[in-house]
């Protein structure tokens, strides 16, 4: 009975060692700067509102009278753009699930064409 328990414990210890080793290898593989940058861009996409605001300021400060109106509009638009939240991965998964459900509910009778 003790040998059986000891063998079970040793098997669990070996399994834990392998799992820990795999986790360390995975964390080392994901620790590169390029991977971190890609994941950061995926979870926090760059916002174009800053660029639009800079162009708007440049146009507003330009000496021509017509560019001032466009510049002020771009500055206002940049603040409106900033308020919108980028889509998260959860939002994308929810939308994909919804679309797949809509596609699954279609039948061939819905798509029949009369000639």
Q: Which two tokens stand for residue 60?
A: 């507003």
Same domain, 4 and 32: yes
Q: Identify whether residues 39 and 58 lie together within a single domain.
A: no
| Eight-state DSSP code of residue 86 | P
Separation in Å, CA 97 to CA 1, 86, 90? 51, 19, 11
Q: How far is CA 24 from CA 17, 31, 33, 79, in A?
A: 11, 10, 17, 43
Find the mean pLDDT for residues 100-105: 76
The reported pLDDT for the residue numbered 40 is 77
**Same structural domain for residues 72 and 59?**
yes
Considering the domain architecture, whether residues 40 and 20 belong to the same structural domain is answered as yes
> What is the value of pTM for the model shown?
0.38
| Number of domains comprising the chain | 2
Residue 3's domain comprises: 1-45
Domain-located, residue 89: no
Q: In this predicted structure, which of 63-67, 68-72, 78-82, 108-112 has the lowest mean pLDDT?
A: 108-112
């Amino acid at each position: 009975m003790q040998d059986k328990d000891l063998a079970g414990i040793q098997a669990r210890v070996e399994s834990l060692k392998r799992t820990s080793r795999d986790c360390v290898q995975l964390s080392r593989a994901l620790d590169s700067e390029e991977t971190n940058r890609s994941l950061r861009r995926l979870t926090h996409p760059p916002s174009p509102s800053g660029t639009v605001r800079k162009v708007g300021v440049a146009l507003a400060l330009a000496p021509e009278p017509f560019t001032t109106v466009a510049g002020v509009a771009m500055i206002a638009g940049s603040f409106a753009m900033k308020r919108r939240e980028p889509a998260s991965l959860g939002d994308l998964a929810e939308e994909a699930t919804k679309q797949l459900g809509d596609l699954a509910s279609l039948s061939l009778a819905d798509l029949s064409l009369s000639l």
